[in-house]
Each structure stands twice: as C-alpha cells, then as structure tokens.
Amino acid sequence: MSLADRIRVLDVRTLSADWYLLKKTTFEWRRTDGTWQTVSRETYDRGNGATLLPYNLGARTVVLTRQFRFPAYVRRACWTRRRRKRASGRRSRKRPAIG
C-alpha cells in the first residue's frame, strides 16, 4: 500500500501567511491494523531545510527511523503536482546535445 493510499485530507486552513506559511490540516491516517484515525497537524512552510543524521563511530552505522511526517508529505505532493502541471503544458521537443 502506497503512502497516498493511507492519507485522506479532510480540511486545510491557512492560519498565517506572513513571514512563512502556516496551515492547519485535518486528515485521516490509515493505521497498520486498517482502521482510520483522524489527525490534525500544523505545518510551517519556510522552504527547504536540513537535518542531522546520528552516526555511531564504534559500529560505523547511522540511526534511521521510519516515521510519517505530514509536512514532508504535503511538500512532496505539491512538488509532484507542479512538475506534472509544467510537463503537461510543454510541447515535447528534442534538446540540443551539450559538449
């Protein structure tokens, strides 16, 4: 099951559009047991960011956690829609070779 199959957006409200965009989104999240849970999250859009990746020097491993992050999901969905919209508006043309 894809991530898109596990989320149903119910409501999106803009709380602030000043220095950054603040939205409150209510959505349903499909749990691993198949039940739907209604969840509400506030998302701040301040552009791209960075993260810290914990590294264990002794074991030479990194610590990875699989956890759903709604702001990242929304940002990726918006990016995908923009790319599709741009691609559908363009005519197919061959690009000149560089070099």
User: What would the pLDDT profile of 33-91 be if each residue is shown by its tens digit?
Assistant: 999 999 999 988 777 766 778 888 999 998 887 778 787 788 777 666 666 666 666 55
How far CA 27 is from CA of 12, 41, 60, 63, 74, in Å, comes to: 9, 8, 39, 29, 11
- Rounded to an integer, what distance in angstroms lies between the CA atom of residue 45 and that of residue 83? 19
- Domain coverage including residue 71: 1-46+60-77
Let me know if residue 34 belongs to a domain. yes
Average pLDDT for 5-14 = 94
The pLDDT score that the predictor gives to residue 95 is 47
The pLDDT score that the predictor gives to residue 90 is 56
The residues, any chain, with a CB within 8 Å of residue 80's CB and separated by 6 or more, are none
Q: Is residue 11 classed as helix, strand or coil in its secondary structure?
A: strand
Let me know if residue 16 belongs to a domain. yes
Let me know if residue 10 belongs to a domain. yes
Return the number of other C-beta atoms located less than 10 Å from residue 88's C-beta: 7
Let me know if residue 53 belongs to a domain. no
Let me know if residue 96 belongs to a domain. no
Let me know if residue 54 belongs to a domain. no
Domains in the chain, number? 1
Let me know if residue 6 belongs to a domain. yes
For the entire predicted model, the pTM comes to 0.52
